[in-house]
A = this chain, B = another copy of it.
Amino acid sequence: MHKRISLSPESTRCSTCMLNSLCLPLGINSNDISKFDEVVSERIRIPKGETLFHQGDRSVAIYGIRSGSIKTQLEDATGQVQVTGFLLPGEVVGIDGFLNTTQLSNAIALEDTEVCVARIDDMDRVAAHVPAVQHQLRRLSSEEIKRSQQLVVALGVLRSEQRLAAFLLNLSQRLAALGYSPSEFVLRMSREEIGNYLGLTLETVSRLFSRFARENLIRIHQREVQLLDLPMLRQLSGVDCG
């Protein structure tokens, strides 16, 4: 199993975490936030490429990402992979499993990653008498469904270039929310992983990056991206145009 870090009183807890306004305790006031300190008992370190949980595992917890990043993916019997999400710090992994008794997806670290563990039975116990926590679980479930539905729309109605543009914009926006540059970042995933997320081959992803660069929409060198023309990318993605 992964390296577990028990949280001593002097460790960073939810109440003192920089990410608490984005992560598990989102929208919970400072009185109730301490309830999360009660629930989040430990952290786990997951080295790059290692699995946090497997599809089919009994669900024991949900995980707030403290640093690093995680991909979730579904695998069928034939070994075909559909990546269902790339999660960043402050985001929560394992909600789909929380609602079920077993995990629906695999969660794999894209880089060395640290996650805060909120055990399901602790969550349930606390939620029973803290409506804010209950509400939070519902919000997280709703987010999960929205994310999934967004992906359905991308795969169902967008063309490849629109999917990739929307993907870059989505990342940009989420990184901005974390205080990073919205226009310059490093992709933590390979072309193949992007392809498995967007329902495209790695070659198509690579060609599109090259084309976007040729059209001066982005600059890209390996995994370093710079978004040069956000308005044009937005228009291309077809998400907002009327």
Contact = CB atoms under 8 A, between A and B. Distances in A.
A99 B141 contact: yes
Contact of A144 (B84, B145, B238): B145
Interface string A125-152: 0000000000000110110111011011
Copies per complex? 2
Contacts of A96: 142, 145-146, 149
Interface stretch (A109-117, A153-161, A179-187, A214-222): A153-161
A205 interface: no
A5 interface: no
Interface stretch (A18-26, A34-42, A43-51, A72-80): A72-80
A82 B156 contact: yes
Interface residues of A, number: 38
Contacts of A148: 145, 148-149, 152
Interface in A67-104: 74, 76-78, 80-82, 84, 95-96, 99-100, 104
Interface of A: 74, 76-78, 80-82, 84, 95-96, 99-100, 104-105, 138-139, 141-142, 144-146, 148-149, 151-153, 155-157, 196-199, 238-242
B153 A156 contact: no
A95 to B, nearest CB: 8
Given A153-B82, A157-B82, A157-B199, A77 B144 contact: no
Given A74-B152, A78-B241, A156-B197, 5 more contacts: A80-B157, A82-B153, A99-B139, A151-B152, A156-B199
Most B CB contacts (10 A, CB to CB) among A82, A241, A242 go to A82
B145 A99 contact: yes
A100 B199 CA distance: 28
A152 B241 contact: no
B138 A99 contact: yes
Contacts of A138: 99
A95 B99 CA distance: 13
**Lowest 3 CB-CB distances: which A-B pairs, in order?**
A155-B155, A99-B142, A156-B199
